[in-house]
Each structure stands twice: as structure tokens, then as C-alpha cells.
């Protein structure tokens, strides 16, 4: 089947352009731009709305195995499609973790139940316990796209250096969580007057800088490919900049929540605003936006972390951290666009093109020959978010009741519409 989009505002992160045009797709692949409609093509009038590569959401928690009541591959896939996410990069912090070819194979089979592409990361150490390296080679053969223990920092520097050295030989990507674990243990807020006023256990922003310094030192020593999952404080940016200027093979990400919320949002002890790392100061938030704009921070992700009501309806310090984000990533990003902080091509570079490139995936582009993984959206459509209308099994979002802009009108994976009127 041939489909031809007309009157579309094409958001091209590869060329950093935002202009009206047409797009032709055939057999799941983009075959032409700004060309006449082929004979017999199904014409789709975008009505001047935005057509962009589907989002590649890096770091999504799915509850299979062990916590299927919080999120299944099916429910996560439906939420992703509704949010314009066409490729999900699933985390390995399941119960038990994805740390062996058998568990990776199980997850890959279960992921076939989803309407979007799902790729998997594997644990860096067995059981995410930080004591023994996983069989990286076998896991790579099984389809793992990267290795990480998530928010569990590998404290054994010698073991981490061995993992990095082994990964270098395999050209595998290691994802680190920059944090000094001793300082950050038990902390639920960022240190300062606000945390003191609320009586919350807090951590200094310097803990992130110290963790980043250590990990980058090991990258210098081993020469491995490395990615920081979340950079959230301004003090980390000079460290990251030096590493890139040195030519180290490093990239960095940030969560959409750290770009759109700050430490004052935890006022009233609202546990839906508890994250790891904790929300930062407004100065830090603005610094992260600027870093994304200049390309110093490469990736924006939702860090979708479903938690059930029993895990969240607790005193702030006892509540489980994290929030669902597959359906809120795009409208939350529109806040940055409407505030003038980032253009749509800049946002899509960080939410689609860069994560795909870093993970070696053929996605995130509108060029001829690219997969027809697309999202059609209205960046200006206003709505009030109702968490109970989210398609995730868990409903823990900090945006519940918030006024937002940006609605997904349609999502296509390999040319097949998986969300919207014809889905």
C-alpha cells in the first residue's frame, strides 16, 4: 500500500528544518519527499499539523517479568503508540533482572505483543548486584542494545573498569547513572533551604558531579563507549563538555521531568513528584534546557517508571520514585517549545534522532529510505491531563490535572497506523 501525506509540517531533526511539504511511504519505508502523489496512493491530509519521526524513548521500565500488575508489554505498547513513541528502549531492572540470554529471550518474546518496536537493554552485572559481570557477548548476540544496572551504581571501581574494558572489545555501549552512592543513599530531595524547610533527607548536587567525574575517568582509562542516563545539575556540564572536547566516546541524557519541573514542585509532599535523581533547582533546570539546545546533552527521555497506588500513596520519603511518561513525553516537551527554550527540530533531535543513532537503530529520520515510523501531532492543541485516561496500567504522573498542549493525532510503525482514527 502507498500512502501520501500532504499539507504536513515536516519536522526534520536530521536537517534541523521545520517546513511544509509532503511525504510518500510504501511498504513501510519513506520513498519520497515533496513529490507528486503516486497513482492509487491513499492520500492523508495532515491539515497543516506536524509530521515527525516517531519518538525513540530510551529507558522505559516494563513490569515483565515480576511486576506485570504495574505494566505489561501490551499496555506499555498501547501507551507508547498513543504518545507518539514508535520505539521503546526497555530497561533491565525487572524482577528478576534481564541479566542472561534466557531472560532476554523471554522479554523479546513477550514484547511481540506490543504494537510498537521494543528493544532491550541488559544488566551490566548479574542480578544488578555489582559483584559479577554478565555475559556481554551472549547478550549482544541475543539482541541487547546496551548494558546498565540502572540507578544502582557499581561501587566496585575495579569491576566497573573490567566491564568497560570488555565492552570496548565488543564495541558495546555502557550506560551509567552518575551519582556518588554514599552521599545519595536515602536522599529524596536536593539539598538547600527548601529541603531543610520540609525536613526531607537531601543530597548535594555535587554527588552527581563526583559520580560523573569517576565514571569519565574510567572511560578515559578504558576507551569504552559510554552514556550518562541522566545529567540534572549545572555543575556536571563543564565535566561533560571537557570529556567531549577530549574526544571521549560519551553521550548524555536527561529526563523530561527534570526539564519541565523543579524542586518546588514537591511542595505539599506530593509523592508523584518523587524522582531519582530528585528534582533540582530552577537554575539547574534552565541549564539543562540550554545544554540540550546546544547539543551538549544528547537525549531527552521519559524514564517511564510505573508504580501502583500502594507504592505511591505513602509519606513522601517512603514512596517509590518515578512516574509514567510514555504518553506525557510529547506534551511535556511542548512546554519547552512554547516557552521558547527549544525548537521542534531541536526537540526531535534529542527525542528521536540522537537516541536512535547512539543505539545503532534505523529510526529518527524523515529521509528517503528510512522506516515509516511517524507521529502526526498538533503542538498547540490544549487539554487538561486526566491520569485515569492514560493507557498505562499505572497512573502515577506528576502532570495529573495540569493544563498541557500537544496532542498526538496519529502514530505509524513501519507504515501501519497503530494509533489514531484508522488504527
Per-residue pLDDT reduced to its tens digit, 84-97: 999 999 999 999 99
Q: Give residue 416's pLDDT.
A: 97
| pLDDT, averaged across the chain | 96
Query: Considering only 136-140, 173-177, 198-202, 300-304, which range has the smallest mean pLDDT?
Result: 198-202
> How sure is the predictor about 267, in pLDDT bands with cuts at 50, 70 and 90?
confident
Q: Give residue 422's pLDDT.
A: 59
> How sure is the predictor about 328, in pLDDT bands with cuts at 50, 70 and 90?
very high
Indicate if the pLDDT at residue 82 is higher than 70: yes
Nearest to 263 by CA among 158, 190, 171, 187: 190
Indicate if the pLDDT at residue 169 is higher than 80: yes
Asked if residues 400 and 330 have their Cβ atoms less than 8 Å apart, the reply is no
Per-residue pLDDT reduced to its tens digit, 363-383: 999 999 999 999 999 999 999
Mean pLDDT, range 259-272, rounded to an integer: 92
Beta bridge partners of 24: 4, 32
Question: Distance of CA 23 to CAs 3, 41, 359, Å?
Answer: 8, 11, 26
Count how many residues are written for the chain.
423
Question: Distance of CA 131 to CAs 146, 222, 225, 229, Å?
Answer: 19, 19, 21, 21
Q: Which residue has the higher pLDDT, 417 or 423?
A: 417
Q: Give residue 303's pLDDT.
A: 97
Per-residue pLDDT reduced to its tens digit, 19-73: 999 999 999 999 999 999 999 999 999 999 999 999 999 999 999 999 999 999 9
Q: Give residue 264's pLDDT.
A: 93
Q: Which CATH architecture has domain 54-359?
A: Alpha-Beta Barrel (3.20)
Indicate if the pLDDT at residue 423 is higher than 60: no
The residues, any chain, with a CB within 8 Å of residue 33's CB and separated by 6 or more, are 10, 21, 22, 23, 24, 366, 367, 368
Indicate if the pLDDT at residue 421 is higher than 80: no
Q: Give residue 198's pLDDT.
A: 86
User: Using CA atoms, how far apart are residues 399 and 385, in angstroms rounded to an integer?
Assistant: 7
Percent of the chain with pLDDT over 90: 96
User: Using CA atoms, how far apart are residues 176 and 163, in angstroms rounded to an integer?
Assistant: 12
Q: Give residue 10's pLDDT.
A: 98
Half-sphere exposure of 152 (CA within 13 A, CB side): 20
Nearest to 199 by CA among 266, 279, 261: 266
Asked if residues 55 and 351 have their Cβ atoms less than 8 Å apart, the reply is yes
Q: Give residue 275's pLDDT.
A: 96
Q: Give residue 256's pLDDT.
A: 98
φ, ψ (nearest 5 deg) of residue 80: -60, -45
Indicate if the pLDDT at residue 249 is higher than 90: yes
Mean pLDDT, range 285-290, rounded to an integer: 98
Query: Considering only 42-51, 187-196, 200-209, which range has the smallest mean pLDDT?
Result: 187-196
Q: Give residue 113's pLDDT.
A: 83
Amino acid at each position: 500500500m502507498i500512502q501520501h501525506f500532504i499539507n504536513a509540517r515536516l519536522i526534520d531533526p536530521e536537517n534541523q528544518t521545520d517546513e511544509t511539504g509532503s511525504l510518500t511511504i510504501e511498504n513501510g519505508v519513506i520513498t519520497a519527499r515533496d513529490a507528486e502523489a503516486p497513482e492509487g496512493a491513499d492520500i492523508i491530509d495532515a491539515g497543516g499539523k506536524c509530521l515527525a519521526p516517531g519518538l525513540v524513548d530510551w529507558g522505559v521500565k516494563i513490569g515483565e517479568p515480576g511486576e506485570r500488575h504495574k505494566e505489561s508489554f501490551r499496555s506499555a505498547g498501547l501507551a507508547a503508540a498513543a504518545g507518539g513513541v514508535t520505539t521503546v528502549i526497555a530497561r533491565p531492572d525487572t524482577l528478576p533482572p534481564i541479566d542472561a540470554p534466557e531472560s532476554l529471550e523471554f522479554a523479546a518474546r513477550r514484547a511481540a505483543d506490543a504494537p510498537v518496536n521494543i528493544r532491550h537493554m541488559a544488566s551490566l552485572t548479574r542480578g544488578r548486584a555489582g559483584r559479577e559481570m554478565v555475559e556481554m557477548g551472549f547478550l549482544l548476540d541475543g539482541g541487547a542494545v546496551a548494558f546498565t544496572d540502572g540507578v544502582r551504581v557499581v561501587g566496585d571501581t575495579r569491576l566497573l573498569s573490567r566491564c568497560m574494558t570488555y565492552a570496548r572489545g565488543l564495541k558495546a555501549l555502557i550506560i551509567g547513572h552518575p551519582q556518588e552512592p554514599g552521599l545519595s543513599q536515602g536522599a529524596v530531595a536536593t539539598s538547600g533551604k527548601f529541603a531543610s524547610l520540609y525536613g526531607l533527607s537531601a543530597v548535594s548536587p555535587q554527588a552527581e558531579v563526583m559520580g560523573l567525574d569517576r565514571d569519565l575517568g574510567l572511560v578515559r582509562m578504558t576507551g569504552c563507549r559510554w552514556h550518562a542516563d541522566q545529567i540534572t545539575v549545572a555543575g556536571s556540564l563543564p565535566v561533560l563538555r571537557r570529556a567531549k572536547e577530549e574526544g571521549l566516546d560519551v553521550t548524555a541524557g536527561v529526563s523530561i521531568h527534570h526539564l519541565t519541573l523543579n524542586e518546588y514542585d514537591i511542595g505539599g509532599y506530593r509523592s508523584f513528584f518523587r524522582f531519582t535523581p530528585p528534582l533540582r533547582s530552577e537554575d539547574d533546570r534552565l541549564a539543562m534546557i540550554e545544554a540540550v539546545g546546544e547539543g551538549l546533552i544528547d537525549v531527552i527521555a521519559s524514564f517511564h517508571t510505573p508504580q501502583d497506588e500502594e507504592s505511591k500513596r505513602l509519606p513522601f520519603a517512603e514512596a517509590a520514585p518515578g512516574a509514567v511518561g510514555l504518553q506525557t513525553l510529547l506534551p511535556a516537551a511542548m512546554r519547552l517549545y512554547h516557552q521558547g527554550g527549544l525548537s521542534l527540530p531541536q526537540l526531535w533531535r534529542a527525542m528521536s534522532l540522537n537516541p536512535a543513532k547512539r543505539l545503532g537503530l534505523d529510526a529518527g529520520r524523515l529521509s528517503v529510505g528510512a522506516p515509516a515510523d511517524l507521529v502526526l501531532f498538533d503542538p498547540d492543541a490544549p487539554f487538561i491531563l486526566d491520569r485515569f485516561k492514560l493507557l498505562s496500567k499505572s497512573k502515577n504522573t506528576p502532570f495529573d490535572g495540569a493544563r498541557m498542549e500537544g496532542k498526538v493525532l496519529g502514530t505509524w510503525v513501519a507504515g501501519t497506523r497503530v494509533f489514531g482514527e484508522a488504527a
